Amino acid sequence: MRIEEHPILKVERKRPFEFAFSGEKLQAYEGETIAAALFANGIRIFGNHQKDGSPQGIFCANSQCSQCLVIADGKPLKACMTAVRPGMQVEPVCGLPELPKVDSVPPMREIEEVEVQVLIIGGGPAGLSAAIELGRRGIKTLIVEDKSALGGKLVLQTHRFFGSSDAVYAGTRGIDIAAKLEEKVRAFPSVEVWLNSSALAVFSDHKVGILRNGKDYVLVEPEVLLVSTGARERSLVFRGNTLPGVYGAGAFQTLVNRDLVKAAERLFIVGGGNVGLIAGYHAIQAGIQVAGLAEALPECGGYKVHRDKLARLGVPIYTSHTVISANGKDQVESVTIAQVDEKFNPISGTEKSFACDTLLVAVGLDPVDEFYRKALEFGITALAAGDAKEVAEASAAIISGEIAGLKVASALGLEEAEAPKGLERMAEVLASKPGLCLPKGTPHREEGVFPVIHCRQEIPCNPCASACPRGLIRIDPEDIRKVPEFVEGDKSCIGCERCVVVCPGLAIALVDYRKDSEWPTVTLPYELSRESLNVGEIVTAVDEEGNPLGEVEVTEVKAIPKNDRTLLIELKSPRVLAEEIAGLRVQAPEVSAPLPEATLRLADDEIACRCERVTVGEIRKLIREGCRDMNEIKAATRAGMGPCGGKVCGPLIKRLFLEESISLESVTDYVRRPLFLEVPLSAFAGASDEE
């Protein structure tokens, strides 16, 4: 269940060792989390809920919930955040875990206090970009990151990024952008980094509680606080939504692209934004089958090039459809979807079921901005950046962080640190939603060599224009959201193939009539396993949106200088198809074929609160009885009382109010917990490591 080869990622593992789960000896590798090691050994059920015995498994893989709780060497710990160690004894949590016995009062120590000019919570693209600006000015800065590496979600992204080549590394893979940003940050002696360290709370005395290195509680007092904590994935209510195998697309990318674990054999995706579309592509790169994707809206909300890229590989996309249920006894065995009407209600009789072992939920993101809001409440000088300020693409987060860094420097009295107006404008462009989709207008020709651009939607992106050595691909320099155009004048295309390689959407093909006017060569980008395609093989060519065009022959599989792991596939094409070919069908049709009969589960009351197993019916009943205070709902049902502190169920309960035609202005929100995460009391007491 581990990934042994990958077309983009380098597969390297550290020292192997043994640990045990339920007494069974299993193999792990140094640096793996417990969750990754269990998944790699085919274990997806980590315990059973104390209320109803329901199976529990990974959900967010980001410390936002406690679905993955296990007993590790006698202590209840989150499997997604805890490193597995040689000889570790891991047990499933069946019911409420018991606290470890303490024979005597452990030795205590004074709580360490640290003063810094700037505290940055979150070491993702926004936090790192801000730190670079602060480091350039010699400002004493501390970055607190709860993962074992800097980069945030960039370390999960194997694809090339959109945006501006000059401003935000467009055309560079996310994993490489993370490395570039970290290298810059590490070069500044005024910037300190704490990894594996979680921010716990912001206090009224302007101090921030940090669990440093997962064990030492430290109080940090900054002059300015910058919150760049990213976003958390939204959940969704449907039957079977808590079965092991139902989890967020971000959790899936963590397991696959960070931990190199084959987290599924076949999956289905609900949600057609960029997150869901990209996760589907990453799955196929990792050798995982994708049965389909359902999107409730009439069109996918993500970039069309992401949608087309997935469809060309053979993944059916069901717009105006929603998930009805995840089916299975102890884990996902199939998923049922149905068409929806204009009010998004499922249409009876349109149900379809698909065999799969995983359902990815990718229905949007919410800012993780609790620290920022609490800081403002207490009068702390604070700013937010990246998704914590506005959910957008990582390229926008980089600019957002740069601007925030300049504003922080200005707040510290450095007047020259004002953000340039052009930077603010670039931030607006990069954060913009997809624009118009223009009709296809490629001029027909049957001579020479030229690129065919299958990118027709207005999105912020210009690597193709930057890559062309002759300047023949043009995008409005004043607005990089404009669709690229191929314009020949005094100069002609030389067929260098750079535009084909660098396009983040894999949306450019090269057509070459120079060798054979009857059977031109079509060159396509290819980012799957090289062994999966051979010279002489007959393959199915598809058009821009994935519709089959016909069978063609592979004549060459190659790489060019600076290809950055993107292969080029040359095809022998008939003239009539040459300008239409945009990709190859990779996935066999039977992978995505619906089951003969749809599985229709009886309504078993969908779960709204995962931690406390509170149903939608229980909450809806209170709303209909006149309850308008979410704290009353908490007291009556325990919804929001669990380890996640209402972070998952809170938005779902608000949606229930809206479904009952109740304005959220009349609803009292949860009183937020002072602590953001669960922490052993021994950490606050300064107990020694041995305890």
- The whole-angstrom separation of Cα 563 and Cα 106 is 58
Q: Give 647-665 pLDDT, tens digit per residue.
A: 889 999 999 999 899 999 9
Task: Express each pLDDT in 462-516 by its tens digit.
Answer: 999 999 999 999 999 889 999 999 998 889 999 999 999 999 999 999 999 999 9
How much of the chain exceeds pLDDT 90, in percent?
A: 79
Q: What is the pLDDT of residue 443?
A: 65
The answer to whether residue 191 scores a pLDDT higher than 90 is yes
Task: Check: CB of residue 33 under 8 Å from CB of residue 83.
Answer: yes
The pLDDT-based confidence of 103 (bands split at 50, 70, 90) is: confident
Identify which of 39, 412, 51, 401 has the alpha carbon closest to the alpha carbon of residue 226. Answer: 401
User: What pLDDT does 626 receive?
Assistant: 95
pTM of full prediction above 0.85: yes
Joined together, the tokens standing for residue 535 give: 């010279």
Distance CA 508, CA 525 (A): 8
Per the CB < 8 A criterion, the answer to whether 270 and 291 are in contact is: no
Mean pLDDT score across all residues of the chain:
92
**CATH T-level topology, domain 1-99:** Ubiquitin-like (UB roll) (3.10.20)
φ, ψ of residue 327 in degrees (nearest 5):
-115, 140
Ordered by start, the domain boundaries in the chain are 1-99, 112-231+367-430, 262-363, 449-591, 607-666
* pLDDT at 674 > cutoff 80: no
Helices (H) and strands (E) in the chain, counts: 16, 35
pLDDT recorded at residue 678:
78
* pLDDT tens, residue by residue, 605-622: 789 999 999 999 999 999
pLDDT at 604: 58
Residue 568, pLDDT > 90, answer: yes
- CATH assignment of 262-363, among 1.10.600.10, 3.40.1280.10, 3.50.50.60, 3.10.20.340: 3.50.50.60
The pLDDT value recorded for residue 99 is 74
Per-residue pLDDT tens digits for 241-283:
999 999 999 999 999 999 999 999 999 999 999 999 999 999 9
Residue 108 has pLDDT above 90, yes or no: no
Is the pLDDT score of 691 beyond 50?
no
* Confidence grade of residue 532 (pLDDT, cut at 50, 70, 90): confident
Tell me the per-residue pLDDT of 124-173, one tens digit each, with 9 for 90 and over: 999 999 999 999 999 999 999 999 999 999 999 999 999 998 889 999 99
List strand residue ranges (DSSP E) for 443-599, in order. Answer: 449-453, 473-474, 485-486, 508-512, 521-526, 538-542, 548-558, 567-572, 583-584
Residue 490: burial class (beta carbons within 10 Å; 0-12, 13-18, 19+): exposed
Span between the terminal Cα atoms of the chain, in Å: 35
**112-231+367-430 and 262-363: same fold?**
yes
Q: What pLDDT is recorded for position 542? A: 97
As given in the structure block, the two tokens for residue 344 are 């998004």
How far is 91 from 115, CA to CA, in rounded Å? 40
The CATH superfamily assigned to 112-231+367-430 is FAD/NAD(P)-binding domain (3.50.50.60)
Average pLDDT over residues 342-353: 94
CATH architecture assigned to 607-666: Orthogonal Bundle (1.10)
Residue 610 and residue 68 in contact, taking contact as beta carbons nearer than 8 Å? no
Stated length of the chain: 691
| pLDDT at 442 (0 to 100) | 63
Q: Please report, rounded to a whole number, the percentage of residues in the chain having pLDDT higher than 70.
A: 98
Q: Assign 690 a pLDDT band (cuts: 50, 70, 90).
A: very low
